[in-house]
Structure 1
Amino acid sequence: MTAVDPAAMSGLELLRLAGTLPESERPPGIGSLLGMEIDEVEEGRVVFSLRPRPEFANPLGTVHGGIPSTLLDSAMACAVHTTLPAGAGYTSLELKVNFVRTIRLDEELLLGEGTVIHVGGRTATAEGRVTDATGRLLAHGTTTCMLFR
């Protein structure tokens, strides 16, 4: 594979490319650590998925809240990233998560969808949802990202 310069690609191009790479060619990061997959990418919207595993447990034996929070943070921030041109960056300024249901370790699949609400000159906002494989809402949230143009 030819070396890719991420700074030369728009956010949409970069995420589309990342979604096609085999696991062995992906750079290390939180997605690799948690086993997240990029399922859908379009301008202003991204869907990630992951399969819960025993390492995600909290002391009560259910999925730790950091897992759906990370899924939401990634999906919402990457949705913002899809709207940015080459060379632009972002960082999360604020993350708000609402947990709706207990997430069991034996859930088949968790889906995290992020959708852009607004992109301005210096900040962007997005909303997100975490659902199970049947579409049942498990958590939802919002984010504000600072943009670096």
Structure 2
Amino acid sequence: MTPKERAEKSASAMWADDNASKWAGMEITKVDEGRAVLELTVAPHHCNGHGICHGGVTFMLADSAFAFACNSRNQATVAQHNIISYLAPGREGDRLRAEATELSLQGRSGIYDIRVTNQDGTVIAEFRGFSRAIRGQLFEEEGETR
């Protein structure tokens, strides 16, 4: 199995039970080893009292992209901690794109940067996620034990 095939199969296994990301309206548009892109169109129910995309929605989109990137090797992995900086507001009708990129993977710990942009390329937020591998896999691979 190639790394891309493993990442796609890992994403499919996770997506099957990821009710939160589906509920929010996210879509996986790309996945590869250590990388993932998720997108979301900002709907009225995503907006806060200022009429802009709620920061929690932006965080959730970035966090989901982070999750698919750090689980792309079929090793169960969770967030250890995350930070986000909001740089511009998302607005109703915007198509937000969260692109996660692995910066470092050493043993059980990983560091990922996730950039959230809108359809015009405006940077909405920068997110850094720190991951920790735990026991288990997303799917059983033939001839391998982890």
TM-score > 0.5 by shorter chain: yes
Runs of 4+ aligned structure 1 residues displaced above 6 Å come to none
User: How big is the shift at 1:136?
Assistant: 1.5
Select 1:65's aligned residue among 55, 67, 70: 55
> Percent of aligned positions with the same letter in both sequences?
27
Q: Which deviations, in whole Å up to 9, do the C-alpha atoms of 1:31-58 show, x marking residues without a partner?
A: 1111100101111110000111111111
In the alignment, is residue 126 of structure 1 matched against residue 122 of structure 2?
Answer: no
Alignment gaps of 5+ in structure 2:
136-146
TM-score, normalisation: structure 2: 0.81
Alignment gaps of 5+ in structure 1:
1-8
In the alignment, is residue 93 of structure 1 matched against residue 80 of structure 2?
Answer: yes
Evaluate the alpha carbon distance shift between residue 73 and residue 28 of structure 1 in structure 2; reply closer, same or farther with a 3 A threshold.
closer
What is the alpha-carbon distance in structure 2 between the residues aligned to residue 32 and residue 63 of structure 1? 17
Q: Which deviations, in whole Å up to 9, do the C-alpha atoms of 1:74-126 show, x marking residues without a partner?
A: 112211111x23xx31111111111000111132x110110111112221110
Query: Root-mean-square deviation (CA), in Å?
Result: 2.1
In the alignment, is residue 36 of structure 1 matched against residue 9 of structure 2?
Answer: no
TM-score, normalisation: structure 1: 0.79
Number of residue pairs matched by the alignment: 131
What is the alpha-carbon distance in structure 2 between the residues aligned to residue 98 and residue 67 of structure 1? 13
